[in-house]
Structure 1
Amino acid sequence: MRRPQTHIRLNLRSFGGVFARMSCTLVGTSGAQVPLEDGRAVILGRGPETGVADKKCSRHQVKVVACYADQDVVVTQLGPNPCFLDGEKLSRGQSGKLSHGGTLYLVNQNHPFKLHYSLSSNGRGSNSAQKGLKAADKTKGEREGKESPSSPTPKRSIRDFFSTSPTKSSKRRLGPEKGHSEAKRQRREEEGPDGQMKEEEEDEEERLAEEKLRQLQELAEKSSEKSNSSQPSSSSSSSKPCLKSSWEQIGNLMIYTAAGVRGSDKIAGFDIDGCIITTKSGKVFPTAPDDWKILYPEIQPKLASLLKKGYKVVFFTNQMGIAKGKLRPEVFKSKVEDILVTLKLPVQVFVAAGPGIYRKPVTGMWNHLCDKANDGVTVDKKESLFVGDAAGRPENWAPGKKKKDFSCSDRLLALNIGLQFYTPEEYFLGWKRAPYSLPDFDPRKLDSNARLYDPPSASLTSIKTEVIVAVGFPASGKSTFFHTHIIPKGYVYVNRDTLGSWQNCVSACERALKEGRSVAVDNTNPDPESRKRYVDVAKAAGVPCRCFQFSATLEQAKHNNRFREMAPSDTKHAKVNDMVFHSYKKHFVAPALSEGFSEILQIHFVPNFKDSQSETLYRQFSEG
């Protein structure tokens, strides 16, 4: 239910007909005072606002959100060094509550700020309060009107984004916040000239999120109230809305389902970074947890329109920094919640927090959504879509010296699933389709019935004692090939991964030849020097030495490496670092008969899948 307007907007309370205005302030021992509005997040740390110059205190040390109803403040630690709530220590990403009269120590039990809640009388039915209420009602109506999903979104051209300076573009706001103007004016009068905030700080404050749980819960209540009167179109199948926001984790997959989300047969998927948000700082990567802003003003009304049409809006994002320890999951969770509060829309968010089947462009996140996180509603891929900025676009794909896309993972995800794909500029702004390119290696085109080797007249094995030396990228299929076609014929298997050094491999080769047994050397052997060791051993034993050159390209070998990571297998393969691939490429010299080989065979990678699930996974693009 909607709360009384006096509680929502001006925090006025009636005592015998006299209205009292509640205020909340953090007061430092140096005299610094930080006013906190109800439900509005404020970032505090080192700087003029707090008077703290201690470099152990981050500029974005804590996020504080006041709750006037409970007369407390929720404090979230953002900086690397701990803060304290009275005697309770917070670590990065953790949150705690500070009650009236309690003390927040910004960093390491230093720089205390005491929390004060107070009531100030404004008189019976004062004109200022009445004007404030009218202004709040008017602003509320204006804001709701502007955020209506049915409001048309004007089409913008490419020129709109290059006719103004970057500075002006960066100050474009999502929408008007006129409802705070009266409160600001009153606060300036109370604080005096010394307490006035700079205009930049005001803009920053207005963009900060409101209290997340309350906002999202209200979304759920509104969705429930309107579920009977404003059902989605009959062409869309949907379920009841989720009533409570929640996080869950399955392995490297983190899922946030906001209050108000409902299952649907139509999914509108979006990447987050570079698609829904960008950095306020202008840097490629965010410099702080709050270094973000909504990318385009058109985004919120467009998403709202999709929800009205019966779509389920879902964000899919790769966050490898979590697995690498560079990004704390609690900090990213808080960021996700802040983004949704700013959008004021019920959205489900999937986060691939590490490598594997959930990382785009592999379809693990999408599959989990369809199978387990859509309230049992079957998804219609023909009616669904995906939008992302990792689209494989080249340098200068649009006017203004646009940079080359860092990858093609978003477009490839849509291709793997079979969804219609758009870039943010195409979908939100109506720009023309930009040029793009796909990876050189396309796993969909690999033929399982292709010829295994050339020349076809050659024989893979010999009845006479011999040495076979492999040449090829890591993950080019050498081990599988040898264990399938060569080792069962009685050849001794020599491999550096198991024997530890090339010297041990040479010794094992010599021992086998003395016993009259043939040898298969399964190493990469990129250059003549590495191959000569085995040619010389074979020559000393008086037996021929053949070369099996594996023809898989660098891109195909990398794809095989990623597939081995994801697919369950009885054969365990260690993950190969990119440096190893590029080292092989750098040192590679094509083998020649002049090195002492009696024959050179070209071995082609022909996949053999144990089941349809493995083949489906292999046929997906695995990197953008």
Structure 2
Amino acid sequence: MSCSLVSNTGARIVLEDGRAVIVGRGPDTGVTDKRCSRHQVKLVACFAEQNVVVTQLGPNPSFLEGQELGRGQSGKLSHGGTLYLVNQSHPFTANFSLSSNGTAANMPKRGLKVTDKTKSTGNRRENEAQSSPTPKRSIKDFFSASPVKSSKRRLSPERGHPEPKRQRRDEDSSDRAMDEEEEERLAEEKLQQLQEFAAKSAAKESKAIEASPSSSSANACVKSSWQQTGNLLVYTAAGVTASEKIAGFDIDGCIITTKSGKVFPTAPDDWKILYPEIQPKLASLLKKGYKVVFFTNQLGIAKGKLRPEVFKSKVEDILTTLQLPVQVFVATGPGVYRKPVTGMWTHLCEKANDGVAVDLQQSFFVGDAAGRPENWAPGKKKKDFSCSDRLFALNIGLQFHTPEEFFLGWKSAPFSLPDFNPRELDSASRLYDPPSASLTSSHTEVVVAVGYPASGKSTFFHAHIIPKGYVYVNRDTLGSWQKCVAACERALRKGRSVAIDNTNPDLESRKRYVDVAKAAGASCRCFHFSASLELAKHNNRFREMAPSDSKHAKVNDMVFHSYKKHFVAPALSEGFSEILQIHFVPDFKDRQSEVLFRQFSEG
């Protein structure tokens, strides 16, 4: 059987059974109308039911047999039906044609079949489909076709283009027809049904998967589904089975790479399977009783640069191409779920493996962010962008491999771990130097803090200084250094000692308080918090992940580097009577907090 969409201008789009294709403005459709997004609709053909599920993606509505589809809505296109790509323009007619085996009536040659996006590939596959009711798959079929040339602008099709008034009215009426949540729910239900069908087809075509415990187990997931918990998305494909053995993989740079050759994808369909060895290797793991799980960071979703429904569609398309039952974990923002922190793994073990305990000794993780240096192998010019995948495995206690080592059998490459290791911080180390010094004074004084944001200044002052009657002065609370200086002056006039909890990296910022103390006849000491940049950044990320530390606002990286740029080591010559070195000594409220803190949090 074959299926294709044909326009009145002769443009033809061929669809394969159960394989999703995103269609819109471009050379494949011949549509140049800017009201039509380059990613206008998603099409998935179901040969068994002889229909195509059409899901609207673009900002302007499509029409299916006269029925308007708003963003997120889905509908079915039957044989002979017409899809208007945008508004009521650019019609495409669907056609399903059966092979000539005497089982079906003749059908018109115009039809719909989801295809790779080059016409030559589409025509070749259509001819194969017409000659055989169940086309055989070669390893090339595991790759997406070459994309049309695209630009970074394709990443945000929702921004669209200036719209005429009639078009905006069309979109408004679509919004009124159904609220967004209901649209997404219906779309998800339809896509889940289609994924279930695709998984069943895959089971029939792949002998390896038919023989695997994953597909034969009575506990296998029957229906594909998406679930969300905070900044975590979890997709469980039909056929996924719980196992004590987990084969974990990163996605970008490990399972897929860009077809464009660029570091970052230029469009949602700018991807292909990285190596031809990947699909059979994953199929072999499933046959051996492993549960195959993908773990990926997608910070662009939280930043608004990547629509979640677009990435969900991409995940489903990857698994449809692989034709394998896989579970996928997506960290959509910062926090405990983002690799190398182990939140995704913890969620898998505690809530997404049907109660089956995971055996770390039999499990492993594969990723390309492995800390390898420049020219780590012949022909490999660039160093790894980070070490987050290797650290993810290290935090969990898993055996780690790079994609080249696991899929291609390459020898282990050299790598480097971060200089800062949170496991080496000693909770019993000395708090300050010199040890003979006193943290507080019986005489009126000003204590000026110097140190990175998140170096422990506030915690230290509230634990050891403020309870002794010192007035606490902090720029984050008061808003400006001028108000801090004024607050210091008022306290000294009342005979109160003062603790200045600001970063104070340079001579100018510290001189303000030295001068105020001198004018009031009080001494001025400096508490230099010795935490390194790496430790301060780690503390900042820990605050972000630990709910008990929510009172601390997240600090932007620019603030850290601004401090480093302006820092001048404090000296007695500035007018300080004493300088103490205050060391960061971790103190934990509970075991869970310590476990989280001891993890590598950035690669």
Query: Offset at 1:418?
Result: 0.5
Distance in 2 of aligned mates of 1:120 and 1:474? 68
Query: What are the equivalent positions in structure 2 for 1:454-465 lying under 5 Å apart?
Result: 454-465=433-444
Counterpart among 182, 188, 202 of residue 128 in structure 2: 182
The residue that corresponds to 1:509 in the other structure is 488
Whichever of the two has the greater Rg, that structure is: 1
Distance in 2 of aligned mates of 1:315 and 1:382? 19
The residue that corresponds to 1:152 in the other structure is none
The residue that corresponds to 1:212 in the other structure is 195
Whether contact under 8 Å (2:340, 2:392) holds in the other structure is yes
Query: Offset at 1:383?
Result: 1.1
Cα deviations across residues 550-597 of structure 1 (Å, max 9, x unaligned)? 000111001000100111216601110111111111111111111111
Query: TM-score with structure 1 length normalisation?
Result: 0.79
The residue that corresponds to 1:384 in the other structure is 363
Is 1:90 aligned to residue 70 of structure 2?
A: yes
Whether contact under 8 Å (1:472, 1:550) holds in the other structure is yes
Distance in 2 of aligned mates of 1:545 and 1:98? 79
User: 5+ residue gaps in structure 1?
Assistant: 1-10, 12-22, 127-170, 172-176, 187-199, 233-237
Whether contact under 8 Å (1:42, 1:205) holds in the other structure is no
Distance in 2 of aligned mates of 1:619 and 1:202? 41
Distance in 1 of aligned mates of 2:16 and 2:319? 20
Is 1:262 aligned to residue 241 of structure 2?
A: yes
Cα deviations across residues 119-172 of structure 1 (Å, max 9, x unaligned)? 68958589xxxxxxxxxxxxxxxxxxxxxxxxxxxxxxxxxxxxxxxxxxxx9x
Assess, with a 3 A threshold, how the Cα gap between structure 1 residues 572 and 103 changes in structure 2: closer, same or farther.
same
Whether contact under 8 Å (1:255, 1:351) holds in the other structure is yes
Whether contact under 8 Å (2:79, 2:96) holds in the other structure is no
Query: What are the equivalent positions in structure 2 for 1:580-595 lying under 5 Å apart?
Result: 580-595=559-574
The residue that corresponds to 1:291 in the other structure is 270
Whether contact under 8 Å (2:6, 2:94) holds in the other structure is yes
Assess, with a 3 A threshold, how the Cα gap between structure 1 residues 571 and 245 changes in structure 2: closer, same or farther.
closer
Query: Offset at 1:63?
Result: 2.9
Distance in 2 of aligned mates of 1:40 and 1:490? 70
Distance in 1 of aligned mates of 2:357 and 2:306? 34
Distance in 1 of aligned mates of 2:335 and 2:573? 43
Is 1:527 aligned to residue 506 of structure 2?
A: yes
Query: Offset at 1:33?
Result: 4.3
The residue that corresponds to 1:18 in the other structure is none
Secondary structure in structure 1 of the residue aligned to 2:54 = strand
Distance in 2 of aligned mates of 1:221 and 1:609? 54
Query: What are the equivalent positions in structure 2 for 1:361-440 lying under 5 Å apart?
Result: 361-440=340-419
Distance in 1 of aligned mates of 2:337 and 2:20? 32
Assess, with a 3 A threshold, how the Cα gap between structure 1 residues 511 and 123 changes in structure 2: closer, same or farther.
closer
Cα deviations across residues 267-304 of structure 1 (Å, max 9, x unaligned)? 11100000011011111111111111111111111111
Whether contact under 8 Å (2:213, 2:288) holds in the other structure is no
Range with bigger deviation, 258-267 or 474-483:
258-267
Cα deviations across residues 485-523 of structure 1 (Å, max 9, x unaligned)? 000000000000111111110010000000001000000
Whether contact under 8 Å (2:61, 2:68) holds in the other structure is no
Is 1:276 aligned to residue 259 of structure 2?
A: no
Query: Offset at 1:184?
Result: 7.0
Whether contact under 8 Å (1:220, 1:241) holds in the other structure is no
Assess, with a 3 A threshold, how the Cα gap between structure 1 residues 73 and 535 changes in structure 2: closer, same or farther.
same
Whether contact under 8 Å (1:323, 1:354) holds in the other structure is yes
Instruction: Give the length in aligned residue pairs.
Output: 533
Distance in 2 of aligned mates of 1:82 and 1:621? 46
Counterpart among 570, 576, 594 of residue 615 in structure 1: 594
Distance in 1 of aligned mates of 2:208 and 2:224? 17
Is 1:106 aligned to residue 85 of structure 2?
A: yes
Quote the sequence identity (%): 77
Query: TM-score with structure 2 length normalisation?
Result: 0.82
The residue that corresponds to 2:52 in the other structure is 73
Query: What are the equivalent positions in structure 2 for 1:103-502 lying under 5 Å apart?
Result: 103-113=82-92, 115-117=93-95, 122=100, 182-183=128-129, 212-218=195-201, 231=213, 240-502=219-481
Secondary structure in structure 2 of the residue aligned to 1:313 = strand
Query: Offset at 1:407?
Result: 0.9
Query: Offset at 1:342?
Result: 1.2
